[in-house]
Amino acid sequence: MQGFKTFLLMLVMTLLLMTIGSLVAGRNGMLIALIFAGVMNFVSYWFSDKIVLSMYRAQPVSEDDRVFKITKRLAMNADLPMPKVYVINEQQPNAFATGRNPKHAAVAVTRGLVEVMSDDELAGVIGHELGHVSNRDILIGTVAATLAGAIAYLSSMAKWAAIFGGNRRRDDENGSPFALIAVAIFAPMAAMLVQMAISRTREYKADQFGAKVSGNPIYLANALKKLEMWSNRVPMDAAPATENMFIVSPLAGSKMASLFSTHPSTAERIRRLEEMAR
């Protein structure tokens, strides 16, 4: 099922890229976009984890680090290979997992998360991320982030093509600049909707896993309360295309971003965890 979701995601994103290419430069543009999509799909599968970690300037932690020790204990409890552990120099408390499979996984936490969470709460958060690893759905998130970023880039090109008349073609087709503007506006939204559809159910499953592997659902519930509070107070310089990867939306402070959030309601997640505890 996870493999089918990944295939469907790549197909939808590829079609979006081809549509943008066709509107910008006709048949040649469609062919170039198809080649570009093929390269992006290959890169997304094999290197998306490195791209995302590099994007946030994530640094590996030492084996003596508190986060490393907690991750190692939880990975043993979950019978998972030990993932690589990174820290991101961001004040907003947050975390994400990446990698194409459990043997090539990484968990990244922000410095703010380490500062505000107790050991139990940190275990709940890391357990949640290991849930994504165990469920083998981290590849879907990283592929979605990489391809959504590419669509946003090409959509920006379509906007400028409409402004400067780049849609004029040498063949008999005469595209409308309004079509380019429409694509520039709606293609990134379509990519975001794909991310939303795939992402929301993943979060509930990862919450359940994190609650079990950490030993108490309340650990993660308390952590989510803090994450919700801090994400609305402390901004994070996060790329919108990677929003779905984090345990809570790093863009939660934006009212517009909340309308298209890739995450379910934090209050509902907390309610389910507290119900598990009872």
Active site residue 90: no
What per-residue string of b and e applies to 188-213 under the rule 16 or more CB within 10 Å gives b? Answer: bebbbebbbebbeebbeebbbbbbbb
- Report the C-alpha gap between 14 and 29 in whole angstroms: 13
Catalytic residue among 129, 203, 228, 243: 129
Q: Report the alpha-carbon distance of residue 200 to residue 197 in Å, rounded.
A: 6
Instruction: List the one residue out of 136, 137, 122 whose CA is nearest residue 80.
Output: 136
Q: Which residues contact 53 (CB under 8 A, 6 or more apart)?
A: 86, 98, 106, 108
- CA angle 170/176/177 to nearest 5° reads 105
Whether the Cβ atoms of residue 108 and residue 86 lie closer than 8 Å to each other:
yes
**Which residue stretches of the chain are H helix?**
2-55, 66-77, 111-116, 119-134, 138-164, 177-214, 217-233, 255-259, 266-277
- The pair of structure tokens assigned to 59 is 């640094």
CA distance 128 to 247: 8
Catalytic residues: 129
